[in-house]
Structure 1
Amino acid sequence: MANYRYGEYDGGPDPLATPYDVRGALDDMGDDILGGGTPAEALRDLLRRGWQNRRGLDDLLRRVRERSRELRSRGRLDGMLEQARALLDTAIGQERAELFPDPSDDARLREADLDALPDDTSRAIRQLADYDWRSQAARETFDKLRDLLRREVLDSQFRGMKEALENPDPAAMQRVKDMLADLRTMLDADTRGEHTQEDFERFMGEYGDMFPENPQNLEELVDSLVRRMMAAERLLNSLSDEQREELANLMAQALEDAGLAAEMAALGDALRARRPELGAPQRGVRMSGEDPLGLGDATSAVSDLADLAELESALGQDYAGANLDDVDEEAVRRAFGRQAVDDLEALRRIERELQRQGYLTNNGGNLELTPKAVRRIGDTALRRVFAGLENGMRSGDHDLHDAGQAGDLTGATREWEFGDEQPIDVPRTVRSALLRSIGQGGLPPATPRGAAEGRRGRVKLSPRDFQVAETERRNSAAVSLLVDLSYSMALRGTWAAAKQTALALHALLRSKYPQDAIQVVGFSNYARELRETELAGLGWDMVQGTNLHHALMLAGRHLDRHPEHEPVVLIVTDGEPTAHLQRDGRPWFDWPPAPETLELTLAEVDKMTRRHAALNIFMLAEDDRLSAFVDNVARRNGGRVLRAAPEHLGEYVVNDFLRTRGARRQR
């Protein structure tokens, strides 16, 4: 027998993993969309809240702000100046204590030199560089000061260097010089296009302990160095002019003492040539702590604060074209660890999967729902409407399990077409497949039952083989739902209910009455027909005008295209007509309504009456002028007027439609 080895699968995504189910995410978005939000707003709110035990952007933002407050309270940025001055004063005090008992002129001259030292710490240290200390304790304190400055200054440029130089061994400083030289050589080789990953790995093998960020390639190393240099500049810009000058002089003096001034200047030039952003002015930061911070620690705090500020902006997603890809994953990892990165990736996956599985499309940066998503959201809206219907108002139609069937079976069949919901005729479907297979050369011979090759005689079905059972045709309806989109709908808080009602009615007709023809018309200053995919992402129009005249014209054309259907017209509005369409196609608005507006609107009402289409109007506001208008429409047309609270609008509209349709079937 062959030998087999089993190991962890590493050929890509797990082929046995269950599909990523984002329908629950879409349902959560649907709550916001049915509440009047757009798809982009609903997705943003979902990502802010988080999903399925994953932290959302709001939680990450909260942690960013808490971390920023913690860093700001850590200490003072001028701590290096305070530490240096304290050590310098200690050394001078120790020297004075040694000189005081000595009555010689040399002792007095030395005291005079100490008295003449400048107040500026960096200049004082420079003058004392060649001073011959009498006190051994003072000499050691001064050496400690200079060593501290060297380590802190290098730590401000290379994170972790302070620990690497904890032992003041000349060999350790020489290793730093060798590292800078090799780093320059590597950068120059990369500029010439001669750098390789092997060169970088050799460099890290030699000096990796000096770079605790553990970069994986030269670009990551350059990133860490650039962030450090920018943080050092921000630190200086956070100080007063006097403090800035004194600290800059201290840093320059420390590098000169260490023999690294030329090397660091050359490295800075090389990095600026690669990253022009180093030349841009850096804003300072504010710290609120009381404890003095060393230069390296202060630089780290400033660098982390800068990262957090950028992270806060990216997580806020409050700018044009915002995307989760804008969030720096490495910045999240540095601030909060691997778990936060996993949460961020889970949020990114939601957005990707919604698009990959066909629920969302990105059309030129505009997020839109697909028909598949709208159908699911519409079904949710319909379930809510049915849940709100009182038992006494319920119609039996919505509980039928044979949704989509048009009537009793006739015995005839026909080929299945996309969208058909009639039952499949299994025997005739299999017969069609057999005839097709024989026509294409015959079926492979079947072997005796139970034989190893017995499965070769199976019949393969294709979509064109399917046959559906013909049914008797029921009465069909041409339904036109006219929805007010004017600004007043938003002001009164009724627009969300109108949107949910339109989606619910669409879902009802699609699932229960697929033979009906539905049209949704939105009207404000103009009227326009709305596709199902537009409904979910639709917002109200911030314009003046309630052009019911134009909406009725579009509805009339819809009814005329389906003369064999029963006409049903439903109107949802919160105001009387205040606009009409002129002969040149432009809208005319006036308030109170112009007589011509009312005349033209009522003329369209009369046309609807001649089409035998009853206009059922759902009023969303109590207004005397609106009441007078709709009562006039009811008298002329014979339709009904229903005063509906916004929270029950969907129930009223759907229930009214079901009653009307039930009455038609009984005739």
Structure 2
Amino acid sequence: MIFEYSKWDATRAAFQQRLDELMKLFRWLLNRAAGDADTALDWLDHLAEKYGLWGDGIDRDEFEKQLRETGEVERDAAGSHSLTHKGERAMRSVALKDLFGELRKSGGPGEHRARHTGSGGEPEPFVKPYTFGDDLWSIAVTPTITNAVRRSFERGEDDMTIQEEDLMVHETQDNTQCATALLVDCSHSMVLYGEDRMSPARSVTMGLVEMIQTRFPRDRLHVIAFGDDAVEVPLAKVPYLSWGPYHTNTKAALEMARELLTRSRCPNRQVFMITDGKPTVLDEGGHRYIDAGWLNPRIINRTLDEAGQCRRKGISITTFMMTDDPVLTKFVEQLTEINQGRAYYTGTGKLGQFLMVDYLQNRKRNVR
């Protein structure tokens, strides 16, 4: 390793600090802009002009230059900026980092399941005496040697040897493969009444994609956006998830999820649904029924039928409600009872905490 020392450059240090702060703000705005780099840059410029954020040798032109040098953004011949694959990956990485940061601060919600130790899987920080059948790769070296030294000293032995009675092994958890369909409500209500629910939903989706791709590559994830229709979203395009002038076709989203998950051979199959509204759309018999009023019996019953079909296929549904609307709550209670799944009211602040903890717990199978 080679270290190079030079005279402290206060100007350069101020430049770098300012750039880091602006980059952090830009990435936050980029999520709110659904991956639209030009929109995020315009918002940043407006804030910088209003609050005096430009400085230390950085204006908009210099920031755009520095941004392009990271390789996360590129400019076309017309002068428009767009995310590169590296930029899309950076958005997902930041989202995952933020989610785990929230988990560390909160301690994680929903830590309620019993733990049983056993062989195989990922090592835990706890150790136990070795028993026949334990994997040798899980031997805890330091506790094992400590036991051997203590035993040799107590018996007055000149040479230290390791016996079977000295062996200690890490307790482990078996991780099972998991197939998940993440359903994201993209209806108009996700941005109504002055509350942006779409950005937290997008951020959580990006974080889940990044976690599965980097930490659990054998797991399967399908992202389904639903409004008037249900559409599977390529994982690379998740940063661009956005709302539209849509109603809520929950039945179509659950049906697509069931069809996709039924093809999977993963032992754990589950649906995570992020929504802020009751079902208001039904496609049946070549006709589309729309009712944005109270709970329409026809739309609700067909949607609940789909939840029942998921249950019969062994697919659990966990619903994350982003509003405590009584009408939505009544529907979700019915859906949860029929599917024997789970439901959480998370609002926008704790959506990531609940969803990530639930995912990590669901993919662990603890054995003796």
Identity %: 25
Q: TM-score, normalised by structure 2?
A: 0.67
1:572 Cα offset (Å): 0.8
**Closer/same/farther in 2, CA of residues 349 and 616 from structure 1, 3 Å limit:** same
CA gap of 1:610–1:620, structure 2 versus 1, over 3 A, is: same
User: CA 1:482 to 1:368, structure 2 compared with 1: closer, same or farther past 3 Å?
Assistant: farther
| Partner residue in 2 for 1:387 | 101
Shift in Å, 1:511: 2.2
| The one of 52, 69, 85 aligned to 1:353 | 69
Q: Given the alignment, which residue of 262, 276, 279 partners 1:577?
A: 279
- Given the alignment, which residue of 574, 590, 610 partners 2:312? 610
CA distance in 2, matches of 1:376, 1:630: 34
**Shift in alpha-carbon separation, 1:26–1:373, aligned structure 2, 3 A:** farther
- The count of aligned residue pairs is 281
1:528 aligns with 2:231: yes
Q: Which residue of 1 aligns with 2:59?
A: 56
| Aligned counterpart, 1:378 | 92
Please give the secondary structure, in 2, of the residue aligned with 1:646.
Answer: coil
Give the Å deviation of 1:52: 7.5
Instruction: Return closer, same or farther for 1:487/1:364 CA change in 2, 3 Å cut-off.
Output: farther
Matches within 5 A, 1:80-99: none
Out of 249, 253, 259, the residue aligned to residue 551 of structure 1 is 253
- Residue deviations 1:548-596 (CA, integer Å, cap 9, x gap): 1111122112202213341021111111101122343x64321224322
C-alpha distance in 1 between matches for 2:64 and 2:343: 48
Indicate the residue corresponding to 1:658 in structure 2: 360
Cα distance in 1, alignment partners of residues 330 and 205 from structure 2 = 26
Question: For 1:51 and 1:518, how far apart are their aligned partners in 2?
Answer: 41
- Paired amino acid for 1:378: R
**What letter corresponds to residue 279 of structure 2 in structure 1?**
P
Structure 1 gaps, min length 5 = 1-21, 58-343, 397-405, 409-472
Give the Å deviation of 1:534.
Answer: 2.1
Pairing 1:486–2:187 present: yes
After superposition, the Cα gap between the structure-2 partners of 1:625 and 1:366, relative to the gap in structure 1 and judged at 3 Å, is: farther
Partner-residue secondary structure (3-state), 1:645: coil
Distance change >3 Å, CA 617–CA 508, structure 1 → 2: same
Relative distance call for 1:364 and 1:603 in structure 2 (3 A) is farther
Distance 1:365 1:54, change over 3 A: closer
Are residue 32 (structure 1) and residue 29 (structure 2) matched? yes
Deviation at 1:362, TM superposition (A): 5.4
Residues 579 and 477 of structure 1: CA distance in aligned 2, closer, same or farther (over 3 Å): same
Alignment partners' CA distance in 2, 1:38 and 1:476: 31
Distance 1:395 1:366 in 2: 45
1:281-360 aligned at under 5 Å gives the runs 344=61, 346-350=62-66, 352-353=68-69, 357=71, 359-360=73-74
Matches within 5 A, 1:39-50: 39-40=36-37, 41-47=39-45, 49=48
CA distance in 2: counterparts of 1:532 and 1:502, whole angstroms: 9
Q: CA RMSD for the aligned pairs?
A: 3.1
- Which of 262, 269, 277 aligns to 1:567? It is 269
The question of whether the paired residues in 2 share the 8 Å contact of 1:525 and 1:546 is answered with yes
2:154 is matched with none
What does residue 619 of structure 1 align with? 321
Q: List runs of 5+ in structure 2 lacking aligned partners.
A: 1-18, 112-120, 124-173
Q: What are the Cα deviations for residues 512-558 of structure 1, in whole angstroms up to 9, with x where unaligned? A: 21111111111111111122332222321123x11111111221122
The CA distance in 1 between the partners of 2:227 and 2:83, in whole Å, is: 23
CA distance in 2, matches of 1:560, 1:37: 31
The answer on whether the counterparts of 1:34 and 1:500 sit within 8 Å (CA) in structure 2 is yes
SS in 1 for 2:319: strand
Once the two structures are superposed, residues 621-666 of structure 1 have per-residue CA deviations (whole angstroms, 9 ceiling, x without a partner) of 122221111111111111111011211111111111112223x344
> How far apart, in 2, do the equivalents of 1:624 and 1:371 lie?
41
2:337 to 631, 635, 639: 635
Q: Following the alignment from structure 1 to structure 2, what is the Cα–Cα distance between the partners of residues 46 and 527?
A: 33
Q: CA deviation at 1:24?
A: 7.8
CA displacement, residues 325-368 of structure 1 (integer Å, 9 cap, x when unaligned): xxxxxxxxxxxxxxxxxxx3x245245435xx254575998754
SS at match of 1:490: helix
* 1:475 alignment partner in structure 2: 176
For the Cα contact (< 8 Å) 2:272–2:317, is it kept in 1?
Answer: yes
| Corresponding residue to 1:505 among 200, 208, 223 | 208
Q: Deviations over 1:111-130 (max 9, x none)?
A: xxxxxxxxxxxxxxxxxxxx
2-structure distance, mates of 1:36, 1:363: 22
Change (3 A) 1:512 1:609: same
User: For residues 348 and 654 of structure 1, do their structure 2 counterparts lie closer, same or farther at Cα, with a shift above 3 Å needed?
Assistant: closer
Say if 1:360 and 1:368, in contact at 8 Å, map to a contact too: yes
**Counterpart-to-counterpart distance in 2, 1:640 and 1:361:** 45
Counterpart of 1:542 in structure 2 is: 245
